[in-house]
């Protein structure tokens, strides 16, 4: 098996110097990168095409893998936005003067070296580099084989810009797209401070089960929207359609519509925009019996609940109460994003209070769960756990802190 120790050691050594880079220099690197990414779009797209040619277009991952001129322009704009954000480093979180004369400060510092394991999403290579550099963290990337041509093209562009600006490329490395590299990264306890997987529930489960390095789980979204008995039908139609169809391959897209039984009379109207967009419906017995017969509508099977579809598919669950809706979410949610559509202040209050997820919504689409949409800039992923970070992991979430103590000869008795 290939030994990656030299790469890991190099990233660790070089990343220690990143905290000393000025904000002005970081801003220059990111501005340059945005410009070069657009200039080299043809090269990146040509390499991306090689990856696309190896994947079935019906694969739900195809859309995530796909790069276009417009998407590269969007990536470049996100990089520029990150460049303009305030640095998360050297922030004074707390200070105190002790009776013995010691002066204490609690200040933000980088996490250290981030290990990012991700699937067929080449935009992640740009995104995580931008926020890793801005937050002073070294980076070891492990992309999937489906996107290897794209990732290698992108990292070469990143390294070109780093070299031009005198920043060591060794602090930001892409590993080969093979399983041995994944295993090595998961066990790199002396070199990597945290592993962050971005991808399917299967990938996240694998990383959690095999990692010796601490893990922050991100990415998998089994997302529900509950339409209660008081919901405004026009609001519900717009919210559900947007949450499901805006970009079905991303983690904040809707997987299960939960509907109060009193709204079954409106169900055909509620899902009509979905059917017009080609969404396949898996309805439970109560919902199915209230729906008009159509090719896109089928009876739900048990496995349709708790599934992250990542495509134009949606399950429907009928409930008789808010309690039953919350119980269903508690059973099947990945704790990513959950929503209620309601005109009842009490139902909204209880839903927002009792539902356990990184983002909970009242009368809005779950498509907003995104670092940029939250005003945080680019994100490294959506954390679905509770330790260290939850929700969009942006710049501040990629820092820790240390205590700085200044004295004048004090000793402890």
**Chain centroid to CA 195: how far?**
14
Q: Is the pLDDT of residue 219 over 70?
A: no
Tell me the pLDDT tens digit for each residue of 229-276: 999 999 999 999 999 999 898 889 999 999 999 999 999 999 999 999
Tell me the pLDDT tens digit for each residue of 111-130: 999 999 998 889 999 999 99
Task: Find out whether 367 and 253 touch, Cβ atoms under 8 Å.
Answer: yes
DSSP assignment of 182-244 equals HHHHHT-TTT-SEEEEES-HHHHHHHHHH-SS-B--B----EEEEE-TT--HHHHHHHHHHHH
Angle at alpha carbon of residue 270, lines to 266 and 243, rounded to 5°: 150
Q: How is residue 1 written in tokens?
A: 């098996």
Q: Where are the domains of the chain?
A: 5-218+380-406, 223-368
Q: Is the pLDDT of residue 220 over 80?
A: no
Q: How is residue 192 written in tokens?
A: 């990597």
Task: Find out whether 378 and 135 touch, Cβ atoms under 8 Å.
Answer: no
Burial of 217 (0-12, 13-18, 19+ CB in 10 A): buried
Question: Quick one: pLDDT at residue 1?
Answer: 62
Task: Work out the average pLDDT over 353-361.
Answer: 96
Q: Is the pLDDT of residue 387 over 90?
A: no
Tell me the pLDDT tens digit for each residue of 70-113: 999 999 998 999 999 999 999 999 999 999 999 999 999 999 99
Which residue carries 């050691």 as its tokens?
9
Q: Which CATH number fits domain 223-368: 3.30.70.20, 3.40.309.10, 3.40.640.10, 3.30.460.20?
A: 3.40.309.10
Task: Work out the average pLDDT over 302-313.
Answer: 94
Residue 111, CA distances (Å) to 20, 114, 239, 383 in order = 14, 7, 37, 16
Task: Work out the average pLDDT over 119-142.
Answer: 94
Q: Is the pLDDT of residue 296 over 70?
A: yes
Angle at alpha carbon of residue 357, lines to 355 and 362, rounded to 5°: 60
At 288 the three-state DSSP class reads: helix
Q: For residue 372, report the phi and psi dihedrals to the nearest 5 degrees.
A: -65, -40
Task: Find out whether 192 and 8 touch, Cβ atoms under 8 Å.
Answer: yes
Give this prediction's pTM: 0.81
**Chain centroid to CA 343: how far?**
30
Closest CA to 111 of 127, 132, 85, 91: 132
Give the span between the Cα atoms of 83 and 213, in whole angstroms.
29
Class (C level, CATH) for 5-218+380-406 = alpha beta
Question: Quick one: pLDDT at residue 11?
Answer: 97
Share of the chain above pLDDT 90, in %: 82
Q: Is the pLDDT of residue 60 over 90?
A: no
Query: SS3 letters for 80-142?
Result: HHHHHCCCCCCCEEEEEECCCCCEEEEEEEECCEEEEEECCCCHHHHHHHHHHHHCCCEEEEE
- Average pLDDT of the chain is 94
Q: Is the pLDDT of residue 199 over 80?
A: no
Task: Work out the average pLDDT over 7-33.
Answer: 95
Give the span between the Cα atoms of 141 and 363, in whole angstroms.
37
């Amino acid at each position: 098996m290939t030994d990656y120790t030299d790469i890991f050691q190099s990233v660790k050594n070089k990343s220690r110097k990143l905290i000393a880079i000025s904000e002005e220099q970081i801003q220059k690197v990111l501005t340059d990168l945005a410009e070069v990414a657009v200039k080299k779009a043809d090269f990146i797209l040509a390499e991306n095409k090689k990856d696309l040619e190896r994947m079935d277009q019906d694969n739900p991952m195809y859309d995530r893998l796909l790069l276009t001129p417009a998407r590269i322009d969007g990536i470049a704009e996100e990089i520029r936005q990150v460049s303009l954000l305030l640095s998360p480093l050297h922030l004074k979180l707390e200070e105190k003067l002790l009776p013995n004369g010691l002066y204490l400060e609690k200040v933000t510092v980088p996490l250290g070296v981030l290990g990012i394991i991700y699937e067929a999403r080449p935009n992640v290579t740009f995104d995580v580099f931008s926020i890793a550099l801005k937050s002073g963290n070294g980076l070891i990337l492990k992309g999937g084989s489906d996107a290897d041509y794209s990732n290698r093209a992108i990292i070469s562009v990143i390294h070109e810009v780093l070299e031009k600006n005198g920043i060591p490329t060794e602090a930001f490395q892409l590993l080969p797209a093979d399983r041995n590299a994944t295993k090595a990264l998961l066990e790199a306890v002396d070199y990597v401070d945290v592993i962050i997987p971005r991808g399917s529930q299967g990938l996240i489960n694998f990383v959690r089960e095999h990692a010796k390095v601490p893990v922050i789980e991100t990415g998998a979204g089994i997302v529900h929207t509950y339409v209660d008995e008081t919901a405004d039908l026009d609001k519900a139609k717009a919210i559900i359609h947007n949450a499901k169809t805006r970009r079905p391959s991303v983690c904040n897209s809707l997987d299960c519509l939960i509907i109060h039984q009193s709204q079954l009379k409106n169900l055909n109207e509620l899902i009509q925009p979905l059917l017009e967009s080609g969404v396949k419906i898996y309805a439970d017995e109560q919902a199915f019996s209230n729906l008009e017969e159509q090719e896109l509508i089928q009876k739900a099977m048990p496995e349709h609940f708790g599934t992250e579809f990542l495509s134009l598919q949606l399950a429907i669950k009928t409930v008789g109460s808010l309690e039953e809706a919350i119980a269903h979410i508690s059973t099947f949610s990945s704790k990513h994003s959950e929503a209620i559509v309601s005109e009842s202040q009490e139902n909204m209050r209880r839903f927002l209070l009792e539902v356990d997820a990184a983002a909970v919504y009242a009368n809005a689409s779950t498509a907003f769960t995104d670092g940029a949409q939250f005003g945080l800039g680019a994100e490294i992923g959506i954390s679905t756990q509770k330790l260290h970070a939850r929700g969009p992991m942006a710049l501040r979430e990629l820092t820790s802190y240390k205590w700085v103590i200044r004295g004048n000869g004090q000793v402890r008795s």
